[in-house]
A and B are shown apart, each in its own frame.
Chain A
Amino acid sequence: MSSIDWLMAVAILLPLVAGMLCFVVRDYTVRGIIVVLTAVALIVTSVKFFLMGPTEYEITAIGGLNVGELISILDFVVLFIFLYAGISLKRIETIILALAQILPLGYFEFVKGIKFETSPAFYIDQLSIVMVMVISIIGSIICIYAIRYMKDHEHHKHVEKSRQSRFLFWLVMFLGAMNGLVLANNLFWLLFFWEVTTLCCFQLIAHDLTQEAINNACQAMWMNLLGALGLMIAIVYLTYNIGPDGISLKYIIAGGLGKGVVALLPLALMAFTGMTKSAQLPFQGWLLGAMVAPTPVSALLHSSTMVKAGVYLVVRLAPAFRDTMVSDLVAIVGAFTFLGASVLALSQTNGKRVLAYSTIANLGLIVAAAGINTPLAMTAAILLIIYHAVSKGLLFLCAGTIEHGIWSRDIEDMEGLAAKMPLTTTIAAIGIMSMLLPPFGVLMSKWAALEAASQVPIAGFLFVIASAVTAVFWVKWLGRMLQVPPTGEAYHVESMSAIYSLPLIALAGGAVVLSIMVGTVLNKLVLPAVAAFYANVPAAFVAKGFNFAAQGFAGPAAAAGGSEGIGTVGLFAPWPLFVVLGIALVLTWLLVGVKKEDVRPAYMCGENVDDCSDTSYFSVADQKTEIKLGGYYFMNSLGEAVLNKWVNTIAVILLVIMLGVVYL
């Protein structure tokens, strides 16, 4: 086997093998070692992919077995598992959607004898490499965190027969399916990996086997099957109308399909497929429902896998539907999701639901940027995929740790967390800030997206409103956590098992370091990917434009002359802001001391019960009353009950228009 054979095998097959080993091995420590070793292998492999650079990979047979046939058989196996799940759980929608794929696929493959084959099997470009790195590095860190988390989880839930083996099986295998998905060139293979991720997701959400978990898992299953159905129709349509080339991503990206209905219909269908998986409105339900699963599942689904597969597909196909109405509609659907999800997040008191809505919002932004479809917008999209994965993975792990500390997910219960769990709170605060504030990477991407948005003004306007709204729920949450009663004493840093704290610290450090190194990330990872998409990008843009180097962010203004519709962008250097951040928050924390005698209780109209140690006051008739504070949640005006019907209706209309404009 050559080196690329090994890389592909480790990226796609090793997680499967390791998952099976986890399933068989019943010893906690051995299982842990297997997961850690797999994680290390995956991380090393992803770095090797990066060093290797874009390439193609052809495989027809493994040990005498025809891979194409193997995959079509396995695809049927997975579909029959869905069918079985639908029948045994009595879910009519799942049964229908599974049959809707099994019957046509069976007809075309066995009756008509069509083989969904194309060449090369795997097409590895810079975008795939970025995705492999995101999946393998962040996903692996989350898997390591899951080892201990699941033990505590079962301990707390008093589970008698441990199901950790099963959990780790699906969790680790997920990474392999994702790697396969982003590396595949053959759309049919991509569909197979797509179905496998849906299956993993279904199993992981249902893991706790409560009625709610099963219901939500079924919801995730049927929504993702609906998306896969779109992909399947597109594949059959393309095979019929174009031939084997039609299902080759390489051919599609290169614009081989043209801009007619024959091209736009399958492209719009596949964009729809991507939107279901990335939980764009009105499909947000399954991702919110997925919150019932243990936290590592949420962390994995939201940061590096599953939803990122959806945006990957949209970003991947964007060059093919460039300069069409479909592209504008994709931008508007994404921007509307960004706004809708952000507004819905305002009324949430459950921390994990806030995180979920924020994920949906950010995915909306990525989809919208792909729809705006200029080099700058695409740069924003890929940057956001990377930075969002790091920050959101971090935040979910924090939410899990907090949950295991206070056994609540409610934001209001997190009041004063800074005093109880200083380390976790600090890391969570870094996570929230990295989602929201300059000079962290997520905001840098948002900023680039906004500067690119003048191409599709409606999307730009929705961005502006949404980005103002996102600040509200983040700051509210941050404010609750960082609120502390007035005591002059130093906090006792909580003790945390290394297997908890190391993933947290690794991701928090990653969020900061990657943000400082945004110039390197941009030039080494993102720009090559964008350049591959837009062959006629002005050289200045690729070579030095959008350069976050020390001199500042030199826009391609003069060189490009707006010829590619890039227009002018801004000028900005992020590192001085890190200096300001360091001085303002870190240095003052270290240098400014507070003497114990200078600490006073908060003002309560002169009715404080005690000095500092108590936060109650003398109320009517000298009753001691504990002070209670809370945030604004706007339940009556912006709650889900009020908004959902409007938001979902508009989203459905937008999707119908998106699929309809292909005939214009």
Chain B
Amino acid sequence: MRETLIAVITLVVAPLIGGLLFGIDRKITARMQRRVGPPILQPFYDILKLIGKDRIVTNKAQLIWAYGYLFFVMASLIMLFLGQDLLMLVFVLAFGGISFILGGFSTKSPYSHIGANREIMQMVSYEPVLILMAVGVYLVNGSFIIKDIFTKTPLLVNLWPIFIAVLVILTIKMRKSPFDISTSHHAHQEIVKGITTEYSGPYLALIELTHWYELILVLGLISLFWATPLWIGILIALGSFILELFVDNISARMYYAWMVKFTWGIGLTLCVINIVWLLLVKQGVI
């Protein structure tokens, strides 16, 4: 019963915070670009407007995958808030990501197709880092269960290299420069609208909503790095969020191969150094 309650609250509150954060994002980004920017509640106005539009699609499969994306990201978010298995959470999130990609592939559209191909590369870039994060958490805590994180010393102490790698993942997941490869918020560097080109009206609203959930999920994962007391973790997550906005505005979109090289080269190296170090400590070498 208590778990059901948590799940329901998660599903209701998460998009409210997510939407608000994207509103703040747009305001701050606008200020950095010397514009006034929209009101903070603009993302909500946008979604309401989208929902009121015609339900235009290019085929049925496309919208099924949009629902798949939404529901599996929701499922992984619930897993996070119920404190379940971190590794399985990453896999469930991957199902969401794959649904999104298949939505892009499902229509014979050149722009959505390019976006989908690139989204696969984004997934290859972030997936191993997230799994290695789970492995790191296991090595520190002796458990893959998220609940167990709350009873131990903050993870950041031992896992700061992995934390840096996860920050890079946040950029990819928020679809911010330099990793806004599959679809971008910056119109000037976009090939039409990438993977979401063929989505419009209520179904685009669905995708936007999922992005809000996803943002909360990734920020939630980041806040796990300082879970006791949790407010420090939340502050760290919000700090990371603001940092992303700066990164977004000072960099241009990069080529997908560069992204894979960067995340595998630097991100994975950080994770590996971290894990090797933890193992050496465990063996009593250091």
Contact = CB atoms under 8 A, between A and B. Distances in A.
Interface of A: 416, 418, 436-438, 443, 447, 450-451, 453-454, 457, 460-461, 464-465, 467-469, 471-472, 475-476, 478-480, 482-487, 552-553, 555, 557, 562, 567-572, 576-577, 580, 583-585, 588-589, 592, 594-595, 598-604, 615, 627, 629, 631-632
Contact of A468 (B85, B102, B127): B127
Contact of A615 (B63, B108, B117, B145): B108
A583 B71 contact: yes
Given A454-B139, A584-B71, A598 B102 contact: no
B84 A572 contact: yes
B269 to A, nearest CB: 11
A570 B141 CA distance: 12
Interface in B34-56: 54-56
Top 7 nearest A-B pairs (CB, nearest first) are A479-B105, A602-B109, A570-B85, A584-B71, A486-B58, A468-B127, A568-B143
Contacts of B85: 553, 570-572
29 contacts: A437-B94, A438-B92, A451-B87, A454-B138, A454-B139, A457-B276, A457-B279, A464-B132, A468-B127, A479-B105, A482-B105, A483-B108, A485-B59, A487-B59, A553-B85, A567-B138, A568-B144, A584-B67, A584-B71, A585-B64, A585-B67, A592-B60, A594-B59, A594-B60, A600-B57, A602-B110, A602-B112, A603-B197, A629-B113
Q: Indicate the member of B71, B112, B121 with the most A CB atoms within 10 Å.
A: B71
Contacts of A631: 117
Given A465-B128, A570-B88, A603-B198, A484 B108 contact: yes
Contact of A603 (B88, B145, B192): B192
Contacts of A450: 87, 131, 135
B117 A584 contact: no
Contacts of B92: 438, 577
Interface in B139-162: 139, 142-145, 148
A416 B95 contact: no
Contacts of A468: 123-124, 127-128, 131
Contacts of A595: 55
A384 to B, nearest CB: 15
B207 to A, nearest CB: 14
Given A592-B63, A600-B56, A464 B101 contact: no
A594 B57 CA distance: 8
Nearest to B74: A580
B108 A485 contact: yes
Nearest to B84: A571
Given A453-B135, A475-B98, 16 more contacts: A437-B91, A447-B88, A451-B144, A454-B139, A457-B275, A465-B128, A471-B124, A478-B105, A484-B108, A485-B59, A570-B87, A571-B84, A577-B75, A594-B59, A598-B55, A627-B108
Contacts of A602: 58, 107-110, 112, 197-198
Interface of B is mostly: helix
B212 interface: no
A300 B254 CA distance: 45
Nearest to B138: A454
B108 A584 contact: no
Given A454-B139, A468-B127, A604 B58 contact: no
Contact of B108 (A570, A583, A629): A629
Contacts of A627: 108, 110
Contacts of B116: 479
B131 A467 contact: yes
Interface residues of B, number: 66
B60 A584 contact: no
A418 B64 CA distance: 14
Contact of B117 (A437, A562, A592, A632): A632
B22 interface: no
A416 B279 contact: no
A465 to B, nearest CB: 6
B106 interface: yes
A555 B135 contact: no
Contact of A600 (B58, B105, B106, B268): B58
A562 B142 CA distance: 9
Contacts of A571: 84-85, 145
A598 B94 contact: no
Interface string B73-89: 01100000000111110
B19 interface: no
Contact of B111 (A569, A603, A615): A603
B112 A592 contact: no
Contacts of A632: 117, 120-121
A464 B57 contact: no
A468 B197 CA distance: 26
A588 B64 contact: yes
B120 A476 contact: yes
Contacts of B213: none
A567 B57 CA distance: 49
Nearest to B193: A603
B109 A451 contact: no
B110 A483 contact: no
Among A487, A557, A604, A629: residue with most chain B CB under 10 A: A629
B135 A460 contact: yes
Given A450-B87, A457-B279, A615-B108, A482 B144 contact: no
Contact of B143 (A467, A469, A557, A594): A557
Contact of B58 (A438, A480, A553, A599): A599
A438 B91 contact: yes
Given A475-B120, A567-B142, A598 B108 contact: no
A495 B64 CA distance: 25
Contact of B127 (A471, A567, A629): A471
B83 to A, nearest CB: 9
A478 B102 contact: yes
